[in-house]
Structure 1
Amino acid sequence: MNGAQYQAIADDWERRATVRTRPRRLLEDDDKLIYPLCRQPLVLTATFLEHCPQWRDFVLVQSFYKFINDVVIFETEIVDKTARNIAKNRFSTPFPLACRYDAMTVVVDEDYHALVALDFLQQTVDKTGIPPIDLPAQIELSRALPAAHAQVPAHLRDALELMGVAIAENTVTQDVAAFSKDNSVKASIRGLMADHLSDEGRHAQFWTRLVRLYWQAASPEDRDSIALALPVFLENYLTNELQKTFDLELIEHLDVSPTLRNTLRDEVIALTFPITCQHPLVANIMGFLQHSGLLQTASVTQALSDYLPSPRRPI
């Protein structure tokens, strides 16, 4: 694999990595929200607003705990694993040393993000006196990667994991950016998101460059095999089923009447967020696939035709 055109992120990491440059952030005791209302549809349902608005803060705190839990799973169980394998030359396709060094900076960043997330979880428990309910053991990526792996030969599983992590890192960057700009949320949490965003923007560039490097060296046969697995990955990744399961569990912890609980359940179950080619997440993913070179491959374009505008316009 020729890494001559690879642009390293190490210098930028030395200057800007939050693990090197940011002080500890402390959760404020003010009237700002701990989690954006727009990210928790349960508290915006007609039944909740009319009959149990007093449970709003409890629901938002638990939703914040889930967000933190998702971050820890994502950073330590998935991204860390892939980046560490690349850094230690355990990846099925060896990368140049500059890539491996950059991968280790990602490992350091992601483990630090998980540490900061757990710090905020503990601070929130101490401030609110609200312990977390049982939190999910998986995130969408935990399901999407094995489902996609099942579609390819064993020698391509590392490559498909690289694609999946790169897609997720590019998606997370956009998601965190929106969170960091929500002025209804406590300043420390917006700062936490801004810190995270500073690192994730660099990570998104790293993964995009790494995928481009891999894709340029991949054989036509391997490219076509990966192309067929990408729709399976996206189908399992772009879903709100885990969030809906969590919200239904959350309803069980509300001290409300059985009738009201059933109504809340029905409203959560009825909430749908169809993922079409117009959805911002899909646009972000297609942008990544364009920039990393995959959408210049006919088999990828064909496999992902349901996610592309028709007729396809430049991303």
Structure 2
Amino acid sequence: MSAFHYQSFADDWERRATIRTRPRRVLENDGNLIFPLCRQPLVLSATFLEHCPQWRDYVLTQSFYKFINDVVIFETEIVDKTARSIAKNRFSLPFPLACRYDAMTVVVDEDYHALVALDFLQQAVEMTGIEPLDLPGQIELSRALPAAQAKVPAHLHDAVELIAVAIAENTVTHDVAAFSKDASVKPSVRGLMADHLFDEGRHARFWTQLVRIYWQSATAQDRDSIAQALPVFLGRYLTNDLQQDFDLQLIGHLDISADTRLALRHEIHALAFPITHQHPLVTNIMGLLRHSGVLQTPSVAQALSAYLPVQGRLA
């Protein structure tokens, strides 16, 4: 596989990686929020605001715990696995040494992000006295990746994994960016997100480059096979099923009347909606696939036509 056009970020990592440059952040005991209101619609619902606003901080704290848990799963069980496999030359797709070195810096970064996340979880429990509920053992990516891999021959499983991780890393970058800019949130939490974003921007570019390198060398048959797996991946990845399950669990732990609990559950179910080409996440994902050369393949554009604006679809 050619290293043509691969641009290493090793020097940038040495100078600016957060594991090398950031002090430990300490959670403030102030009046700011631990989690943005806009990321937990439950606390903004009419029923919640009218009947149980006193539970707001509890719900936001539990939502913060879930976010931390999701970060740890994403970083250590998925991205770490893929990057470590590339770094140790155990991936079925061979990459040049410069790519493998950069992959190991991703491993270091992601494990550090998970460590910092667990530090914040521990600080939050100590500060609030609120113990986490049972947290999910999976994230959407945990389900979407194997479902997509099941649609392709075994020799393409690593290729699908590479593209899936690239999509997820680019998605996380934009998600964290919005979190880091919310002025209502504690400065240390926003700082945590900003640090994460600083590294993830580098990672997003890394994965995009690797997908481009792979796609240039893939056969037409392999490209067409992967094209058929991509809608399966996105269909499982772009859902809020796990969040909805968590929110329903959370509602069950609130000391509220049966009528209020039922009304909240109805409002949570009403929040489910299909994610179309107009959603910012989809726009971002299509941008990644375009920049890496994947979306220019006719079979990919056809397979993902439902996620593309009308003018971007093939006839």
- One-letter code of the match for 2:138? Q
Listed as ranges, the gaps of 5+ residues in structure 1 are none
Give 1:45's aligned residue: 45
- One-letter code of the match for 2:226? I
List aligned pairs for 1:1-315, cutoff 5 A.
1-312=1-312
- One-letter code of the match for 1:247? D
- One-letter code of the match for 1:114? A
* TM-score normalised to structure 1 length: 0.98
Q: How far has the Cα of 1:252 moved from its partner?
A: 0.6
User: Per-residue displacement from partner, 1:57-103 (whole Å, max 9, x unpaired)?
Assistant: 00000000000000000000000000000000000111000000000
Q: How far has the Cα of 1:203 moved from its partner?
A: 0.1
Q: Secondary structure at the residue paired with 2:310?
A: coil
Q: How far has the Cα of 1:262 moved from its partner?
A: 1.1
CA distance in 1, matches of 2:273, 2:57: 24
Note the aligned Cα RMSD (angstroms).
Answer: 0.7
Q: How far has the Cα of 1:11 moved from its partner?
A: 1.0
Percent of aligned pairs with the same amino acid? 78
CA distance in 2, matches of 1:10, 1:196: 18
Counterpart contact for 2:231–2:304, Cα < 8 Å: yes
Q: Secondary structure at the residue paired with 2:132?
A: coil
> Any runs of at least 4 consecutive aligned residues in structure 1 with deviations exceeding 2 A, and if so which?
none
CA distance in 1, matches of 2:62, 2:301: 40
Q: How far has the Cα of 1:34 moved from its partner?
A: 0.3
- One-letter code of the match for 1:91? F
Q: How far has the Cα of 1:274 moved from its partner?
A: 2.5
* TM-score normalised to structure 2 length: 0.98
User: Per-residue displacement from partner, 1:99-128 (whole Å, max 9, x unpaired)?
Assistant: 000000000000000000000000000000
CA distance in 2, matches of 1:13, 1:109: 10
Q: How far has the Cα of 1:265 moved from its partner?
A: 0.8
CA distance in 2, matches of 1:168, 1:311: 25
Q: Secondary structure at the residue paired with 1:311?
A: helix
Listed as ranges, the gaps of 5+ residues in structure 2 are none
Q: How far has the Cα of 1:311 moved from its partner?
A: 1.3
Q: Secondary structure at the residue paired with 2:312?
A: coil
CA distance in 2, matches of 1:75, 1:166: 13
User: Per-residue displacement from partner, 1:151-191 (whole Å, max 9, x unpaired)?
Assistant: 00000000000000000000000000000000000000000
- One-letter code of the match for 1:169? E
CA distance in 1, matches of 2:274, 2:183: 27
Q: How far has the Cα of 1:4 moved from its partner?
A: 3.2
- One-letter code of the match for 1:64? F
- One-letter code of the match for 1:196? H
- One-letter code of the match for 1:281? L
